[in-house]
Structure 1
Amino acid sequence: MTPGASPAVEPVVGEPAAVADLGSERALLVADVHAGIEVGLRYERGVELDSRAAERRERLCDLIAETDADRLVVLGDLAHRIAAPEGDEREELVELARAVTDRVPMTLVEGNHDAGVAEAFADDLDVIGAGGGILGDGSRGANGASPRGDTGIGVLHGHTWPDPALLDADVVCMGHEHPQLRLEDAVGGSRVERAWLRGPLDPAAFVEGDEHAPSEPPELVVFPAFNERSGGTWINVDGQSFLAPFLPEALPSGDAYLLNGTRLGDFRRI
């Protein structure tokens, strides 16, 4: 999965995760962990599911080891419920944060489910605000991001309009959408597949009211959800709306890819 020139963000084949070179650090990036989703579904919908908390935690730790990462970056929605974490959800988050930070530092890009998490775990995590930031070497700002122009990896969740500084990145990574596809076989059966979206970013659609137009716009990478139970945006089902205020307009010619790296072509034509 390598459109164009050598990308700074490389997906891990078969996984909803990618690796980014930040100079002195190698970062593992994931989006939409939605820890505590079983608690949330029970509370919100009365749905009873066995907890996969241990599996999520082990998958993250295994990926950190397999990719030789120096840092874990979560592109928003580390937690599921939109409130301060409590009970079983908080316990899952405590154990997850401890397991990760015993191995590497952890950065959370604040998502729409993370206000309570960012505050409750401020001593354990580096937090980047909802508008996003640019990761890399050098001194870090108050929001956990490096000054623009360092290594060019922009990060945000995607639920709100981005910081215009992200247009100076080489690649912008986001979550929030949970892109997924419904694929049918020759006998009429169907299956759900999580997907990546990737392509040139349209600056005019990406930033609200900003006139900044870089000569070489960044590449936009929309991550699949790490949590397979979290649903998402159907990109090949008629009538499906995107969640981010700048999509799909900010990705006018993006391609879709399966987790195994299969390129499906323009996501608008699948």
Structure 2
Amino acid sequence: MRDDPNRPSPGGTSPSAHVEPVPGEPAATATIVGERLLLIADYHAGYEAGLRYERGVEVPSHAPDRRERLLALCERTQPDRLVVLGDLMHSIGDPGGAERGELEVLFESFSADLAVTVVKGNHDGRIETWLEDSHDIDATVDIVSGRGIAFSDIGVCHGHTWPDPAVLERDVVCLGHEHPCVRLTDEVGGSRAERAWLRGRLAPAPFRERSDYEGVSWLEHADESPPRVVVMPAFNDLVGGTWINVAGQSFLSPFLPDGLTDGEAYLLDGTRLGPYESV
């Protein structure tokens, strides 16, 4: 059954919507009413084929590694539902060739009792034209708008466009698209990039400027706390991303960084780096 993003949370608001990063992995779990979720973002199946076509760069396919990492996460966390926060695939239009093959093998590997929700990202093109109707996939697959969907008190969206108002009415908002990374330097001037989590609270200013958010309670009442926000690292470790601690870097989402307050960065192993601008 497809969740309705405009449906109120069952039984009202829960006392604590909790999104828990999986240690060492670009993934998180959440337990809602009657369901355990595994959340990932920016899988970008077929990325290597895209590099060949777009840039003439030859990179061996990492499709088996991506698949095995995700299947191992499912085995480790035992979710009832896998939620992909956009950009499951890499091409903009219809998936084809290696990309479609990668996704078909991935979904055929899921157990029949796993439900899958795909929030459409800007790279997901016409994914619904074949994925929902594939007869070779046992898992139940729902594909929803990139503006997002609500699961109890957790709202999810891709992040490339403005979220559905119902997403903003939840306690926690999770998104992808940004591929947050930090550049870390050592005492001798060497540097490396690391994928990171970006967490904080939503700031009201950019949302108040949009008429479609009239009626969102925390935007109209200054004494109400805005939702917590979690910007997820990319599952695909080849795609790069926004270096959130480098001056002059532009964010990709239309509501970041202005829509974020008290933002802090964390490495995949849980190391807290502090305010992201000063890492």
TM-score (norm 1): 0.89
Secondary structure at the residue paired with 1:162? coil
Tell me the equivalent position of 2:11.
Answer: none
**Residue by residue, what CA displacement relative to the aligned partner does 1:200-257 show, whole Å, maximum 9, x if unpaired?**
1123324633233422321000000000101110111121100000000111211110
CA distance in 2, matches of 1:134, 1:171: 10
On the 8 A contact 1:175/1:224 being kept in 2, the answer is yes
On the 8 A contact 1:181/1:195 being kept in 2, the answer is yes
Tell me the equivalent position of 2:31.
Answer: 21
Tell me the equivalent position of 2:240.
Answer: 231
- AA paired with 1:247? L
CA distance in 1, matches of 2:227, 2:110: 30
On the 8 A contact 1:42/1:48 being kept in 2, the answer is yes
- AA paired with 1:75? L
On the 8 A contact 1:156/1:173 being kept in 2, the answer is yes
Structure 1 regions of 5+ residues with no counterpart? 136-150
- AA paired with 2:59? L
**Residue by residue, what CA displacement relative to the aligned partner does 1:135-182 show, whole Å, maximum 9, x if unpaired?**
1xxxxxxxxxxxxxxx20100000011111112101010000000011
On the 8 A contact 1:162/1:206 being kept in 2, the answer is no
CA distance in 1, matches of 2:64, 2:252: 29
CA distance in 1, matches of 2:273, 2:207: 24
Say if 2:165 is the partner of 1:164.
yes
On the 8 A contact 1:132/1:157 being kept in 2, the answer is yes
On the 8 A contact 1:100/1:106 being kept in 2, the answer is no
On the 8 A contact 2:17/2:153 being kept in 1, the answer is no
Tell me the equivalent position of 2:72.
Answer: 62
Tell me the equivalent position of 1:191.
Answer: 192
Secondary structure at the residue paired with 1:254? strand
Structure 2 regions of 5+ residues with no counterpart? 1-14, 134-139, 219-223
**Residue by residue, what CA displacement relative to the aligned partner does 1:99-132 show, whole Å, maximum 9, x if unpaired?**
1254612110110011221222123521121211
Aligned with residue 265 of structure 1, among 269, 274, 277: 274
Q: Calculate percent identity across the aligned residue pairs.
A: 57
CA distance in 2, matches of 1:101, 1:204: 43
CA distance in 2, matches of 1:203, 1:26: 30
Following superposition, the deviation at residue 7 of structure 1 comes to 5.4
TM-score (norm 2): 0.86
Tell me the equivalent position of 1:45.
Answer: 55
Give RMSD over aligned pairs.
1.6
Secondary structure at the residue paired with 1:238? coil
Secondary structure at the residue paired with 1:82? coil
Aligned with residue 96 of structure 2, among 76, 86, 90: 86
| Aligned 1:93-242 pairs, distance under 5 A | 93-102=103-112, 104-123=114-133, 125-135=141-151, 151-206=152-207, 208-209=210-211, 210-211=213-214, 212-214=216-218, 215-242=224-251
- AA paired with 1:56? R
- How many residues in Structure 1 have an aligned counterpart in Structure 2? 251
Say if 2:254 is the partner of 1:245.
yes
On the 8 A contact 2:246/2:277 being kept in 1, the answer is no
- AA paired with 2:259? A
Say if 2:20 is the partner of 1:10.
yes
On the 8 A contact 1:31/1:224 being kept in 2, the answer is yes
Secondary structure at the residue paired with 1:115? coil
